[in-house]
Chains A and B, each alone.
Chain A
Amino acid sequence: MAHASSYKPNTAVEKWFDDRLPIMRLMHDQLQDFPTPRNLNYLWTFGGILTFCLVVQLMTGITLAMHYVPHETMAFDSVEHIMRDVNWGWLLRYMHANGASMFFLAVYIHIARGMFYGSYKAPREILWILGVLIFLAMMATSFMGYSLVWGQMSFWAVTVITNLFSSLDSIYPGLGTTIVQWIWGGFSVGNPTLNRLFSLHYLLPFVICGLVALHIWALHVPGNNNPTGISIKTKADAIPFHPYYTLKDGFALSVFVVLFMAFVFYAPNYLGHPDNYIEANPLATPPHIVPEWYFLPYYAILRAIPDKLFGVMAFAGSIGLLLFLPWLDTSKVKSARYRPIYKWFFALFMIDVLVLGYLGAKPPEGWYLIVGRLATAYYFLHLLAVLPLLGWIEKPSAMPGSITDDVLGKKPVAAK
């Protein structure tokens, strides 16, 4: 795509194959010889880590589905059956449950890296949008997967989240209720709901695989962004993906897997909630409903707004707005390294999201509610006001002439 093919079939068989299906050529050009900026730091290893997470979730998920029963009277017991009776069932389940958390940890770092280094800016807008779509599909998949355990938290999470659609009743009476009952397949969350959530939980990961393929395709058209935000200009700026980045990614992945396995083997339930080891009871809500940690910031936004419809709109908007990030940010400079003011606002935005995450786990009253409202206000202010205005106000600092100049420590040139 971005560079001339360097694939040379070595044998007659390879040549024969290449003339009919050039898949080896594709692999060679895109995964081995692909020209990659020489200055990528460890934040760039999360793409590979995320691919690993997706594969782990698929493999553990497909094997778990061989033992799980998606029925309201049997689901909870079948999960316990997996934990106690199935050979290695405990390992598969703990890997799948903690794997979801690790997947989100990696994706949040990946997204934050994109925000800091301006990886969403031209010509990578489609790449970014595909990433947001993957993130949305991940959220839907993990939500559905969590429901399958059919514990108290599962059941009430499904109830609360599906009920978000009932807010549409205030736009057109009955519309929301109709949609909610369509999702439930009944008048409350029950067996039909569980069955369809299982079906869709199995489907969506394959949709994610498709989106990931497009994401990588869209990445390989312009090539990687890098810490300077300056494109590759000469051959000296680039190195082949293999062996340089396969090894760097491999090392980062090893460290990541150590963290992952530390959770799986030493604290498998640390990120979960004990109430989910109580079987679902449609007649009693747990006193304190909290979503999984990776949804807490959005949950805090939902609860910060006293009006139901606006709360739901803010909830949807907090992620939907990210689709427009390439156009909300008006600055031409990609990397925050050369954006002296944006750098601080970026830090504030990160702190804001962490504060929202903290508040999402707290009851919505008193100071928690006030701080939650302020943090929600800043979230939207950052995306809708700070980013568009900063592009006009900010004077970028001096940038290096090229990736190589930066790596070799040459004096930066003044910004144009």
Chain B
Amino acid sequence: MANKTTEPTRRDFMTIAAGSFAAVGGAAAIWPMIDQMNPDASALSLSTIEVDLAPIEVGQSITVSWRGKPVFIRHRTEKEIEEAKAVKMDDLPDTEARNDNLKDDAPASDVNRVKDKNEQWLVLVGICTHLGCIPKGQRVGDAKGEFGGWFCPCHGSHYDTAGRIRKGPAPRNLDVPTYDFISETKIKIG
């Protein structure tokens, strides 16, 4: 028995074929149980919102809710824009714009963080890219961090006036969501 090599029989073929089919079938049956946890149709349908920018004064910020996430809209002052523009690219931990309206590899210059000529309006997803807390800096009395933008109290990440990460554990700049100006003072997010 030990040294005799035998040709595969029909039974061997049937065993392997049946086993393989059972394995493939089992794997296919597991997929619906995994996929049921993914965002469902009702979550996916919460697509766009419109925001009127007219009441927001210079220097003021508002927070709106989009897809269950906070979106920061800041009407930046001249000083804030100047500060954001003066930053050298070498000083940025994350050099990509993270702007859903632009290509992936766009550099994180201040121009690439806003929409065309509307550099006074900064629109960001207000979720710290470290572990998902909401950074402080939207309200008047809030700590805005060392760079005058936002400060995440959870683990100490500092963002500048263009929402770019400057210091702390967060790996990326705050995301800029897809949005468009549908009039002079109105934007559509999503």
Contact = CB atoms under 8 A, between A and B. Distances in A.
Binding partners A and B: yes
Interface of A: 156, 159-164, 166-167, 170, 181-188, 190, 192, 196, 282-285, 287-289, 303, 305-309, 311, 363-365
Contacts of B69: 187-188, 282
Nearest to A282: B68
Contacts of B34: 182
Contact of A308 (B43, B127, B130): B130
Contacts of B130: 163, 308
A170 B38 CA distance: 21
Give the interface size class of chain B: 20 to 34
Contacts of B67: 186-188
Contacts of A308: 130-131, 169-171
B154 A186 contact: no
B145 to A, nearest CB: 12
Contact of B38 (A181, A188, A190, A311): A181
Interface string B114-155: 000000000000010011111110000000000000001111
A233 to B, nearest CB: 44
Contact of A163 (B37, B131, B134): B131
12 contacts: A167-B171, A182-B34, A186-B43, A186-B68, A192-B37, A283-B65, A285-B133, A285-B134, A285-B154, A288-B153, A308-B169, A308-B171
B38 A159 contact: no
Given A182-B38, A305-B169, 9 more contacts: A160-B132, A160-B133, A163-B130, A163-B131, A185-B37, A185-B43, A188-B69, A282-B68, A285-B135
B131 A183 contact: no
Nearest to B70: A283
Contacts of A167: 171
Contacts of A163: 130-132
B25 interface: no
Contact of A185 (B40, B168, B169, B171): B40
Interface in B57-101: 63, 65, 67-70
B19 interface: no
B39 interface: yes
A282 B70 contact: yes
Contacts of A170: 171
Given A160-B131, A181-B38, A311 B169 contact: yes
A16 to B, nearest CB: 41
Contacts of A365: 156
A379 B88 CA distance: 39
B153 to A, nearest CB: 5
Contacts of B40: 185, 192
Given A184-B39, A196-B37, A364 B134 contact: no
A182 B169 contact: no
B37 to A, nearest CB: 5
A112 B49 CA distance: 54
Contacts of B37: 182-183, 185, 192, 196
Contacts of A283: 63, 65, 70, 134
Nearest to B126: A283
A285 B153 contact: yes
